[in-house]
Amino acid sequence: MNQTPTHQSLQPEFRLLVFLVSIGFFMQGLDTTIINTALPAMAQSLNENPLRMHGVVISYVLSVAACIPLSGWFADRFGVRNTFFSAIVIFTIASLGCGLSQNFSQLIFFRVLQGIGGAFLLPVGRLALLKIIPRTQFLSAMSMMSLAGLVGPLLGPTLGGFLVEKATWHWIFFINLPIGLLGVLVTFKAMPNVTEPTVKKFDLSGFILLVVAMVGLALGIESITSKEVSRTLSISMLVAGVIASLVYAYHAHTHQNALFRSKLFKNQVYTIGILGNFFARLGGNAIPFLMPLLLQVAFNIDPFITGLMMTPVVLGSLFSKPLVRPIIQKLGYRKFLIINTLMVGACIASFSLTTEATPVWVRAIHFFIFGTLNSLQFVGMNTLTLKDLPQQDASSGNSFLSMIMMLSMSIGVALAGTLLNAFTNYYGTDHMTKAFHVSLLCLGCINILAAFIFKQIPKDTSV
């Protein structure tokens, strides 16, 4: 009699492989959050306006978004080990370059390079586990790897503030060097170079269209209020982004080899999930960038204390994990996502009520509630988006979702920076706090509007 395979604990021969993939996951998670508390110190060192430092975040996240479609094809064509090894080497060298940067332009260049390495670390690492580890042990492997992904963001804000105060901002990048070196040494021992016997031709024209679309939209929004970039150039980038998006939509419908075929969007729930993910993440992804700036630039709070204050966001995220499934089972996806989207929007808008005199314990509870609601939102949206995809579309559907998540983060940070600069110009630098408050209100309202997308979820959508 055949028995269904049960989930087993991880065998010793796979532990080093999971440790290696966890290194990549940890590095990417740490790097996404460690920089936010260091931005004002970096601005001072590089003689830049701290309100214009969002380019450092956008350049990294946008590079990750742009290169995600490449990761799976490279791993199939050149092997998971070779691709993962190259990713760690690129990421580590770029980290060294970021730390040694003497001006803003050099830093942006190496952040782009770091983003290219980061784009491959997580998807290729996950793919390696999927191809090498037996199904019965896969759940144990993913659980171990997820822990590393949580530790990175948990340490990031506080570690960033600590390094800025006790050393210099350069060390937020140098800290990657020993971790990257360890990953390089372990790769050839732990990961076999699994390749695919047949790999379809890469959709280069589609990839270029996607890159133009993402870069045009993000940089167009980011530079629209900049005094260094002409309004004509900003609008031209936005128009180029929109046109490239429309051309890619046609390409996806007609090109057999397209990276993401248009048939993906025949699935109504997937389409709603993608749109919801994009718009409902704009405000939530801007908060980890915007709040450390508010605390340091407007309220003059030290970087280390700022980092500590941001920690409850991650603790709220951890607290929410066991709650997601029971809440969605009770309310259903439609009701849950409408209510939670409204609550996240209201929470973002309520940050506009904080002042320099707000007690630390009130800030901690506020951040904890935001972290909980935001994590519930992300997990709910992601599971809704992928739950009904047929097996043959799972890989490309998941890659497209990952790309949209990173694109939304880069546009969210660009939008936050643009709003902040526009309101600072309007109210004047003497009323910096007011500029932050109005920006937060706008981001909260955008999030509330995303609830209309989730109203389109069919009422009979099952959990």
Could you tell me what percent of the chain has a pLDDT over 90? 32
Residue 76, in any domain of the structure: yes
Same domain, 274 and 233: no
* Rg from Cα positions in the chain: 22
Q: Residue 28's pLDDT is what?
A: 80
- Asked if 369 and 325 touch (Cβ cutoff 8 Å), the reply is no
CATH number, domain with residue 433? 1.20.1250.20
Amino acid identity, residue 1?
M
* Tens-digit pLDDT profile for residues 124-153: 887 777 777 776 776 677 667 777 777 777
Kindly tell me if the per-residue pLDDT of 3 is higher than 60: no
More confidently predicted of 110 and 51:
110
Residue 168 lies in a domain: yes
Is 6 part of any domain?
A: no
Are residues 325 and 458 located together in one domain of the fold?
yes
**How large a percentage of the chain has pLDDT more than 70?**
94
- 205 by Cβ neighbours in 10 Å (0-12 / 13-18 / 19+) ranks as middle
Same domain membership, residue 151 and residue 58: yes
Rounded to whole angstroms, what are the CA distances from 154 to 39, 158, 396? 18, 8, 30
CA distance 348 to 284: 7
pLDDT for 135 equals 67
Structure confidence at residue 277 (pLDDT): 92
**Domain stops at, among 159, 178, 199:** 199
Asked whether residue 142 falls in the same domain as residue 228, the answer is no
pLDDT at 68: 85
Q: How far apart are CA 71 and CA 86, in angstroms?
A: 11
- Mean of pLDDT values over 36-53: 85
How far apart CA 426 and CA 432 sit, in angstroms, is 10
Say if residue 310 is in the same domain as residue 386. yes
pLDDT over threshold 70, residue 9: no
Residues 323 and 344 placed together within one structural domain of the fold: yes
Looking at the fold, whether 230 and 318 belong to one and the same domain comes out as no
When mean pLDDT is compared over 125-129, 220-224, 419-423, the highest value belongs to: 419-423
- What does the pLDDT read at residue 441? 96
Q: Higher model confidence: residue 158 or residue 439?
A: 439
Domain count, the chain: 3
Q: Which domain covers residue 49, as residue numbers?
A: 13-199
Is residue 184 over pLDDT 70? yes
Mean pLDDT, range 158-175, rounded to an integer: 89
Task: Find out whether 357 and 412 touch, Cβ atoms under 8 Å.
Answer: no
pLDDT value of position 349: 95
Distance CA 89, CA 120 (A): 11
- Name 47's Cβ contacts closer than 8 Å, sequence gap at least 6: none
Q: What are the tokens at 43?
A: 């601005």
pLDDT of the residue at 4? 42
Is pLDDT above 50 for 2? Answer: no
Instruction: Determine the pLDDT at residue 134.
Output: 75
Pair 367, 230 in one domain: no
Q: How far is CA 258 from the centre of its chain?
A: 24
| Contact between residue 142 and residue 15 where contact means Cβ atoms under 8 Å apart | no
**Which residues have C-beta within 8 Å of that of residue 266, sequence separation ≥ 6?**
none
Q: Are residues 285 and 434 in the same domain?
A: yes
Q: What is the pLDDT of residue 183?
A: 87
Tell me what pLDDT residue 391 has: 67
- Per residue in 260-274, pLDDT (tens digit) is 888 888 888 889 999
Based on the domain organization, do 215 and 126 belong to the same domain?
no
Helix (H) or strand (E) run with residue 103 in it? none
436 within some domain: yes
Whether 7 is in a domain gets the answer: no
Whether 146 is covered by a domain: the verdict is yes
321 domain residue, yes or no: yes
pLDDT-derived band at 1, boundaries 50, 70, 90: very low
- Cα gap 234→262, rounded to integer Å: 29
Closest CA to 396 of 18, 164, 21, 69: 69
